[in-house]
C-alpha cells in the first residue's frame, strides 16, 4: 500500500545551501500529518538532510537512494505523536568521572 503524497519538493540541480533553506521552509509550511516527498540528485545533501530536520518532528516513510534522483518520503508530526525520529539524549556532566 502506497502512501499518498501531499507535497513534492524537487531539489534537483540546486546547490546545498539552497536545498537546506527550501527543506526548512517546506517543513515549516506543511501541517502535521501531511506527507512530503523530497526529490534530489546530490548524494551529499541526503547525509545533511537529517541534520536539518533535527528541529522537526517527522516520520520517515520511505527512502529510495539506489538511483538518481533520490526520493525520500516523510510525514510531518507533532511532538505528542510519538514519532520524533531525531531524538538525541543530552550530554550530562558527571564530576565523578573527571
Task: Specify the CATH number for 7-80; select among 3.30.110.40, 2.40.50.1070, 3.40.50.150, 1.10.760.10.
Answer: 3.30.110.40
Mean pLDDT of 11-28: 91
Count of helix runs (H) and strand runs (E) in the chain: 2, 4
Share of the chain above pLDDT 70, in %: 78
Report the C-alpha gap between 11 and 44 in whole angstroms. 12
Give pLDDT tens digits for 50-66: 888 888 889 999 999 88
CB 73 within 8 A of CB 8: no
Amino acid at each position: 500500500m502506497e502512501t499518498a503524497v501531499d507535497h513534492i519538493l524537487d531539489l534537483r540541480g540546486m546547490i546545498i545551501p539552497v536545498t537546506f533553506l527550501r527543506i526548512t521552509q517546506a517543513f515549516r509550511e506543511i501541517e502535521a500529518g501531511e506527507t512530503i516527498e523530497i526529490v534530489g540528485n546530490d548524494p551529499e545533501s541526503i547525509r545533511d538532510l537529517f541534520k536539518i530536520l533535527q528541529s522537526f518532528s517527522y516520520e520517515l516513510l520511505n527512502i529510495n537512494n539506489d538511483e538518481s534522483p533520490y526520493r525520500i518520503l516523510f510525514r510531518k508530526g507533532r511532538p505528542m505523536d510519538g514519532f520524533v525520529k531525531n531524538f538525541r539524549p543530552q550530554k550530562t556532566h558527571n564530576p565523578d568521572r573527571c
